[in-house]
Amino acid sequence: MAQLISQQFHTALSFLLKKEGRGAQSRLSTQQKIDKGYLNGIIKGRKPGSETVREKIASYFKLTYEEMLILGRQLLEGNKAGEVDAVDKITLPMSSKGKEIVPLDKAKQAAKEKAQHLTKLIQKTIDILGSGTEASQVLTQLINTLHDSMMKNEKNQEQRDKLAVMEKRIETLENMLAKNKKDQRKSA
């Protein structure tokens, strides 16, 4: 699930940055005070990005986090349906200044309906959790288990990202060492 959310967010982000044009990544980083390297990792798909940062990114595009995920899902579904370019399915026109991106009414309506559905589900969950019944205990355990699993997956992804960076650094150092040895042989 976490991977799916990450993929949806990444797809929407890539689409929106492309629509905004040249310099969008730099403007996003500066305006939302997100480290450029961290943002680049999110854009390249090497890092999932924290939920806080994802919310900042969504707000930059004048979208909610949920709308961003819905956009990503729609783009992914468009690509699965065999469309060459999902941009034909969902168009987010820019203002004349090129900075403000506003979803079309259909996308807004779909996002609003999804948000209302999610709100109803949350309210039902709150009702069950507050009931003090056996069902509330089971649901609490289920939520805790799912949350722990998500956190472990996120932590594992962070560790894999760190490992990949370390492997690249080691490779660079090995290359530098080999070059130095070669240079020393030539000079001797």
Structure confidence by residue, pLDDT tens digits, 125-154: 888 888 889 988 999 999 999 888 888 888
Alpha carbon 39 to its chain centroid, in Å, reads: 10
Residue 42: both structure tokens together: 């999110």
Residue-range domain boundaries for the chain = 1-104, 130-188
Name the more confident of 89 and 129: 129
- d(CA 3, CA 130) in angstroms, rounded, equals 31
Across 90-104, 111-125, 153-167, 168-182, which has the greatest mean pLDDT?
A: 168-182
In angstroms, the Cα distances linking 130 to 118, 133, 135, 136, 148 are: 18, 8, 10, 7, 21
CA distance 63 to 172: 40
Rounded-to-integer distance, Cα 95 and Cα 173, Å: 48
Residue 101 in 3-state DSSP? strand
pLDDT in the model for residue 187: 84
CB atoms within 10 A of CB 75: 21
Higher-confidence residue of 3 and 33: namely 33
Q: State the average pLDDT over residues 81-96.
A: 40
d(CA 178, CA 186): 12
Rounded to the nearest 5°, which phi and psi values hold at 110?
Answer: -65, -40
132 vs 109: CA distance, rounded Å? 36
Residues present in the chain in total: 188
pLDDT bin (cut points 50, 70, 90) of residue 72 is: confident
Q: What is the reported pLDDT for 91?
A: 43
CATH number corresponding to 1-104: 1.10.260
Question: Hey, how many other C-beta atoms are within 10 angstroms of the C-beta on 58?
Answer: 22
Task: Taking residues 8-30, report their average pLDDT.
Answer: 87
pLDDT at 52: 87
